[in-house]
Structure 1
Amino acid sequence: MRPILAVLLFAALLAAPAQPAAAATGGTLLESRPLAVPAELAAAGATGFRIRYLSTSPRGRRIEVTGAVFLPSGTAPPGGRRVISWAHGTTGVSDRCSPSRDRELGGFGYPGYLAGFVRRGYAVAATDYEGLGTPGVHPYLIAESQARSVVDAVRAAGDLSPDVSRVWLTVGHSQGGHAAMAAGEIAAGYGRGLDFRGTVALAPVTDNRPYVDRLSRLRPVDHGYYMAILAGLSTQHPGLRLADYLGPRARREYPRVHTTCMAELTNRLTKLNLPGTEFTPATRAAAEKLRGRLGGNAVPRARSAGPMLVAQGLTDVLVSPAQTAKAARHARALGTATKLITYPGTGHYQILTSSAPDVLRWIDARLRR
């Protein structure tokens, strides 16, 4: 068979709908379609697919999640291609913000970063997370939800191609660092049947409780993130009253969190420059309730099923280096073998390139054995 014809036939087979949802279990691939890959991934020889797969919500409800899978070219090694389950940083809460629908995969240099994994022969499974591009509100920074989406993306990648192995590792940035850490904690239970090798968390969001004491002093650039946090908590706590946490002007802007992506929302709120009183909890009791709900999603929560590498830039103004160091110490106290590497002069998005050599060495040591 001619090479070009073989590639087209392979793509056509993978684009066919998978087994019916009625017979499906968590991680079952429901549908795949060829995906035009960004230039950086194309240069790395990646073939891309947009996928729709089954997962389970934290309340036990069967849900569908979308994402993307990038497969390297060439012959798979014995045992199949190891999987990097990629967890992206904050793009927004609206369905418009799902990375698999964005040619730049959410931005922030992610296509080039993922190309580094593909060049080393790894398959990449990149979840959009629950509610981004599928029915329902995205449970932003809800640990269990994001973790399950990350785990089930690995199973879906295995359904997509017989060249994909059960051996996997998760890498996440910012919001995705939170998701990756949570995924490592459920890998032994919810991820049963897969072979988990570890977690890489890049500038991870770990604990938003310190936010509560400085909500009245938030910079306008942070107002959209706070609204997204409230949107996420509302999926876990349906009784959450916005009037307890947002003033009247902020509440008028809040619906935009469900219709715009984070950059657009942030730009608007920065221009509005609403006063801090619009983001101050109405009562001390409301503040304490918010603190408790945020604490319920703080990570780490338990010992991970594998070792963990945490990378943090020391000039990061979005994720506190001190908070990340505290989370790493807590992970060690819980029994997780945790290595923290810090990078002077590195900000929140520069951590991707600054840490890449260390991250790739760490990953290779765990996946190439």
Structure 2
Amino acid sequence: MRSARKRAVALAAAAVTLGGTAGFVAVPAQAGERGGHGVPPGHRGRLLHTAPLTNAAALPSAAANRKIGYTSEGVGGKRITVTGTVAIPKGKAPRGGWPVISWAHGTTGTADVCAPSADTPTGPAHDYLAYSERYLDKWVAQGYAVVQTDYEGLGTPGGHPYMNGVSHANTVVDIVRAAREMDRRIGRDWFAVGHSQGGQAALFTAAQRQTPRDVRLKGSLALAPGSFISQTPGYVRAGLPGAQGALPFLFVMLTGSQAADPSLVPEDLVTEEAAPLVEATRTSACTAQLRELSADLPPENVFRPDADLAPLENYLRSQEPLGLALKVPTFVLQGSADTQVTPGATQTVVADLCTRYGGITYGEFEGADHRGLMDVSFEEALDYVRDLRAGRTPPSAC
């Protein structure tokens, strides 16, 4: 492991971009500033219902696991209902209540069956969720209340706006409020932690203006944060190396983008050969099933020859973490063997974020791949959170 809690990122390396594509122009993600202006703050994070949780999403080391419904603010400032889970630690709460880990999950899909709170040992998203559930169980065993949002539109009415930074950030903070309403032993101090799609959400959360201050975001941890997603459509259309492996994520991007902007209709862009995968992504298939369904689909056959990808790419570019102005200490963690979110891409993001905020720590873990990063980085993540709670300033990579 190379720990950048003790080393700085080489900013010269930040010119590397995902897939080696040059010339990417970052559009400042000013959306990070706009959380909370559509739904009045007092109407967000309201607990709507709660029930015992006994499926695979229940963390074994918790004293109690609950599934909850709560209010939040979705795309366009509309009031939404969101589901998620709450795990309560064993033992007596410390003075001030249990500190909170609000987990932003990685890509599962956009169909309702892909919601983490609905996971079962044979569920369609369990191949990924088994990793994150094991990771979260370590946090609750260390005395942290663990809350996990399903995000907007996963298991609830409406589509899931995949990689929409503000929507995700809203649901990440509002589940903390709802959990505190459910159990007052849960404290005000919380940390946003996320992986992949959720890593991008953790960065947007760190950039969001936190109002009201009923809960206190103390720091953010972004594991392999998703970035340069706007390059994926063109990458697939060109059939470049690795395009086949990107297909499950491309179909999730297509349906997720339409959920955020109804004018981005996937059927206007894809061929008849690819259209059934769009429908499966909406209704029944998570990423594991999409990997199987797309195995025999040549990447060059996904988009119609006359498809105008510019509006889709422009929307995706608006959701990049590049351009964010972070407001709380943030630890960015990356696996050196990750081929889905490459070290070069993450170093580029860190270098950009450092130009506006200096409290960023970077850690690269030797030999860790995309999912394996969760397990191998836990101890350093725990130490980072403990440092922040103790008032110690982590070393900066900037």
TM-score band, normalised by the shorter chain?
0.7 to 0.9
Residue 202 in 1 paired to residue 226 in 2? no
Partner of 1:263: 288
Residue 28 in 1 paired to residue 46 in 2? yes
Whether contact under 8 Å (2:192, 2:219) holds in the other structure is yes
Deviates more, 1:30-39 or 1:114-123: 30-39
Cα shift at 1:45: 3.7
Deviates more, 1:295-304 or 1:161-170: 295-304
The one-letter amino acid paired with 1:242 is P
Give, in whole Å, the separation in 2 of the partners of 1:198 and 1:74.
25
User: Deviation digits for residues 235-258 of structure 1, max 9, x if unmatched?
Assistant: 222111325532221113210001
Whether contact under 8 Å (1:185, 1:301) holds in the other structure is no
Give, in whole Å, the separation in 1 of the partners of 2:91 and 2:390.
17
TM-score (norm 1): 0.87
Percent of residue pairs bearing the same amino acid type: 32
Whether contact under 8 Å (1:34, 1:48) holds in the other structure is yes
Give, in whole Å, the separation in 1 of the partners of 2:249 and 2:349.
21
Structure 1: give runs of 5+ residues left out of the alignment.
1-22
Cα shift at 1:305: 2.2
Cα shift at 1:357: 1.2
The one-letter amino acid paired with 2:217 is F
Select 1:296's aligned residue among 315, 318, 340. Answer: 318
Deviates more, 1:296-305 or 1:56-65: 296-305
Cα shift at 1:280: 4.0
Give, in whole Å, the separation in 2 of the partners of 1:260 and 1:39.
19
Partner of 2:131: 109
Whether contact under 8 Å (2:334, 2:346) holds in the other structure is yes
Corresponding residue SS for 2:85: strand
Whether contact under 8 Å (2:151, 2:160) holds in the other structure is yes
Select 2:205's aligned residue among 163, 170, 183. Answer: 183
Structure-2 change in CA distance of 1:245 and 1:124 (3 Å): same
Cα shift at 1:165: 1.1
The one-letter amino acid paired with 1:48 is N
Matched residues, number: 342
Cα shift at 1:194: 1.8
The one-letter amino acid paired with 1:167 is D
The one-letter amino acid paired with 2:85 is A
Matches within 5 A, 1:48-197: 48-103=65-120, 107-189=129-211, 192-197=213-218
The one-letter amino acid paired with 1:68 is T
Partner of 2:272: 248
Whether contact under 8 Å (1:51, 1:67) holds in the other structure is yes
Whether contact under 8 Å (1:118, 1:124) holds in the other structure is yes
User: Deviation digits for residues 313-358 of structure 1, max 9, x if unmatched?
Assistant: 1111111211111011111112151111111211001101111111
Give, in whole Å, the separation in 1 of the partners of 2:93 and 2:185.
6
The one-letter amino acid paired with 1:257 is T
Whether contact under 8 Å (1:208, 1:295) holds in the other structure is yes
**RCO higher in structure (CA 8 A, sep ≥6):** 2
Partner of 1:279: 302
Select 1:238's aligned residue among 262, 267, 270. Answer: 262
Structure 2: give runs of 5+ residues left out of the alignment.
1-40, 392-398
Give, in whole Å, the separation in 2 of the partners of 1:31 and 1:24.
17
Give, in whole Å, the separation in 2 of the partners of 1:166 and 1:305.
18
Select 2:364's aligned residue among 324, 328, 342. Answer: 342
Deviates more, 1:88-97 or 1:192-201: 192-201
Residue 367 in 1 paired to residue 384 in 2? no
Structure-2 change in CA distance of 1:333 and 1:24 (3 Å): closer
Whether contact under 8 Å (2:335, 2:364) holds in the other structure is yes
The one-letter amino acid paired with 2:361 is K
User: Deviation digits for residues 250-275 of structure 1, max 9, x if unmatched?
Assistant: 113210001222211211211xx212
Whether contact under 8 Å (1:67, 1:126) holds in the other structure is yes
The one-letter amino acid paired with 1:346 is A
Corresponding residue SS for 1:223: helix
Partner of 2:11: none
Cα shift at 1:212: 3.8
User: Deviation digits for residues 105-129 of structure 1, max 9, x if unmatched?
Assistant: 7524222211111122110110000
Structure-2 change in CA distance of 1:109 and 1:46 (3 Å): farther
Corresponding residue SS for 2:382: helix
User: Deviation digits for residues 148-172 of structure 1, max 9, x if unmatched?
Assistant: 1101011111111010111111100
Structure-2 change in CA distance of 1:295 and 1:39 (3 Å): closer
Cα shift at 1:38: 4.7
Structure-2 change in CA distance of 1:263 and 1:142 (3 Å): same
Whether contact under 8 Å (1:169, 1:199) holds in the other structure is yes
Whether contact under 8 Å (2:273, 2:302) holds in the other structure is no
Corresponding residue SS for 2:59: helix
